[in-house]
């Protein structure tokens, strides 16, 4: 996840805004991933889902890092949840390559 977040932090605007299957842009695909990770973390903590705000294409790397680390902390004793999240991260990595 950190590798993908770093890739998005360094990505030029033209690539960030480029469309990928199912999303209007690479940034939108990563924002959707950040939302899924945040929802999973909040569910483990017994909280309702909240949307991850769209802070612009240049923020998605940071949003991914924060939501991913939050999920890792919440799911430290839930290897199945972490495995599912890592699969989702890998799928998004391939989609946005």
pLDDT at residue number 80: 94
| Domain ranges, residue 85 | 2-95
pLDDT at residue number 69: 96
Number of domains in the chain: 1
Helices H / strands E in the chain, number of each: 5, 0
pTM comes to 0.95
pLDDT at residue number 1: 84
Q: Consecutive sets of 10 residues in the chain, 97 residues long: mean pLDDT of each?
A: 94 97 98 98 96 97 97 94 96 96
Which of 64, 59, 62, 37 has its CA nearest to residue 49? Answer: 37
pLDDT at residue number 12: 97
């Amino acid at each position: 996840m950190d590798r993908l977040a770093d890739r998005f932090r360094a990505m030029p605007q033209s690539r960030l805004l480029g469309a990928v299957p199912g999303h209007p842009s690479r940034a939108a695909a990563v924002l959707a991933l950040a939302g899924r990770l945040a929802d999973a973390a909040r569910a483990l903590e017994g909280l309702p889902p909240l949307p991850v705000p769209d802070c612009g294409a240049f923020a998605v790397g940071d949003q991914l890092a924060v939501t991913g680390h939050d999920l890792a902390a919440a799911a430290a004793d839930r290897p199945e949840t972490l495995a599912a999240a890592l699969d989702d991260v890998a799928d998004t990595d391939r989609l946005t390559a």
